[in-house]
């Protein structure tokens, strides 16, 4: 997903309330949407109410401003208290929305979903929760609100940053490759070969037999082995781009990228230079700006250049990540900190593992056949490329 600007929540709670009124007024196609009462009055758990177009009952919104940087979240107690108040709202509600500037929280989302089902069974108003990330998605889908918010004083900020992958996107799909090796006994392997021989020309079966008799090495006389590079295609490129999209410089800044538990390894390069059967290691490269902290499962960017001026961008050192070989959506949470500014966000990776299946012939009495974990293994996919 391309982003032209980072949408930060309003610093002022009343501005957040006005934003919600504008947004749901557009979603509901309801110009009559209104604030409920005024500060100090009993609002019966509802800050904003209206009747969506095509409906004949009121929908209500309870706005909860939270401090983004201290990780404050809605609590189950808060939700229950506001629900009880909303039961006294007149006329009775059909739906109740909780909107919050807090980041998404799976535990609270689960709690609200369960309350929603409970209410549906009881025949009373449905309950939904929208965290700031959800609200940002809705803002981008509703042009009137998007234009309003970008042009409002509540959005404009002197200090702001956007963090993306190096192609300027906050979401990407990757296809890391892996090799699944299944060990099979020589007897069984030969049985399968006989079946396959009915369909495969003899030249190929002779070639395989030569490989087996020579322990996997085909004797073709002396052939010079060129310089080559081995690429580990199980890693995917996650290099970051940090852009100052505010109007003021950001001083003494750093960025922390939190790696989810599904990430098994992180490195600065996914290749190894080789010549013949000997490894030729390059001189150690000192990574001055990007540090991989394996113990705490995070990556930290702390550039030597301490100031990031307006409209300037900083690219991290190369970052390659490897996840476990499965199809999964991952969220990479980041935290930006500078002398006078803090900000958080999320990058999303859709991992579609590309598994290459391979059979390995072993002796009939090989102990590898007795242990399923050793008989079938998933290994990194290595691609060898001859250097020019």
* From 189-193, 250-254, 279-283, the region with the lowest mean pLDDT: 279-283
Structure tokens at 278: 């000997």
Residue with tokens 């110009």: 31
Highest mean pLDDT among 150-159, 289-298, 370-379: 289-298
pLDDT band at 3 (very low <50, low <70, confident <90, very high): very low
CB environment 243-280: b (16+ within 10 A), e (fewer): bbbbeebbeebbbbbbbeeebeebeeebeeebeeeeee
* From 56-70, 220-234, 287-301, the region with the lowest mean pLDDT: 220-234
Predicted pLDDT at 262: 95
Whether the pLDDT of residue 242 is over 90: the answer is: yes
pLDDT band at 204 (very low <50, low <70, confident <90, very high): low
Mean pLDDT taken over the chain = 84
> What number of other Cβ atoms are within 10 A of residue 353's Cβ?
17
pLDDT band at 200 (very low <50, low <70, confident <90, very high): low
Predicted pLDDT at 4: 41
pTM of the model: 0.53
What is the arithmetic mean of pLDDT over 342-370?
87
Domains and CATH numbers, the chain: 13-154 (3.40.91.70), 157-196+224-387 (2.60.40.10)
What is the arithmetic mean of pLDDT over 364-375?
79
Predicted pLDDT at 190: 74
pLDDT band at 68 (very low <50, low <70, confident <90, very high): low
Whether the pLDDT of residue 183 is over 80: the answer is: yes
Could you tell me which of 108, 163, 100 has the C-alpha nearest to residue 135? 100
Whether the pLDDT of residue 214 is over 90: the answer is: no
| 371 compared with 329, residue with greater pLDDT | 329
Structure tokens at 229: 């590079």
d(CA 16, CA 35): 12
- Left, alpha or beta for 40 (phi > 0: left; psi -120 to 50: alpha)? left
Predicted pLDDT at 279: 42
d(CA 108, CA 71): 14
d(CA 169, CA 4): 10
Do the beta carbons of residue 255 and residue 300 sit within 8 Å? Answer: yes
Whether the pLDDT of residue 385 is over 80: the answer is: yes
Whether the pLDDT of residue 281 is over 70: the answer is: no
pLDDT band at 156 (very low <50, low <70, confident <90, very high): low
Predicted pLDDT at 216: 43
Could you tell me which of 345, 351, 321, 166 has the C-alpha nearest to residue 259? 321
What is the arithmetic mean of pLDDT over 9-13?
79
Could you tell me which of 269, 253, 262 has the C-alpha nearest to residue 334? 253
Predicted pLDDT at 313: 93
* From 70-84, 90-104, 218-232, the region with the lowest mean pLDDT: 218-232
As a whole number of Å, the CA-based R_g of the chain is 29
Predicted pLDDT at 220: 47
Whether the pLDDT of residue 197 is over 90: the answer is: no
């Amino acid at each position: 997903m391309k982003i032209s600007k980072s949408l930060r929540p309003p610093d002022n709670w009343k501005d957040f309330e006005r934003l919600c009124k504008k947004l749901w007024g557009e979603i509901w196609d309801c110009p009559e949407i209104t604030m409920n009462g005024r500060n100090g009055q009993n609002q019966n758990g509802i800050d904003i109410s209206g009747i969506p177009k095509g409906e004949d009952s009121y929908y209500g919104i309870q706005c909860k401003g939270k401090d983004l940087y201290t990780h404050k979240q809605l609590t189950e107690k808060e939700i229950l208290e506001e629900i009880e108040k909303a039961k006294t709202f007149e006329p009775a509600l059909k739906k109740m929305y909780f909107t919050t500037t807090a980041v998404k929280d799976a535990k609270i989302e689960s709690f609200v979903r369960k309350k929603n089902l409970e209410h549906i069974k009881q025949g009373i108003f449905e309950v939904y929760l929208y965290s700031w990330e959800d609200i940002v998605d809705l803002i981008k889908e509703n042009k009137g609100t998007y234009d309003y918010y970008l042009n409002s004083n509540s959005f404009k900020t002197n200090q702001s940053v956007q963090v993306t992958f190096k192609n300027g996107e906050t979401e990407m799909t990757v296809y890391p490759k892996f090799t699944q090796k299944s060990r099979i006994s020589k007897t069984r392997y030969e049985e399968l070969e006989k079946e396959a021989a009915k369909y495969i020309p003899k030249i190929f079966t002779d070639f395989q037999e030569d490989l087996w008799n020579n322990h996997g090495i085909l004797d073709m006389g002396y052939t010079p082995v060129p310089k080559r590079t081995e690429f580990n295609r199980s890693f995917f490129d996650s290099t970051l781009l940090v852009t100052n999209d505010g109007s003021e410089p950001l001083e003494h800044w750093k960025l922390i990228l939190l790696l989810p538990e599904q990430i098994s390894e992180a490195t600065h390069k996914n290749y190894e230079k080789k010549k013949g059967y000997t490894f030729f290691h390059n001189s150690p490269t000192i990574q001055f700006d990007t540090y991989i902290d394996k113990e705490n499962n995070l990556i930290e960017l702390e550039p030597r250049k301490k100031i990031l001026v307006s409209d300037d961008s900083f690219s991290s050192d190369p970052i390659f990540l490897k996840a476990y070989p499965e199809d999964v959506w991952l969220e990479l949470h980041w935290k930006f900190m500078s002398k006078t500014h803090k900000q958080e966000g999320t990058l999303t990776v859709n991992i579609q593992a590309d598994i290459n299946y391979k059979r390995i012939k072993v002796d009939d009495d090989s102990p590898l056949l007795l242990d399923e974990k050793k008989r079938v293994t998933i290994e990194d996919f290595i691609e060898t490329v001859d250097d020019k």
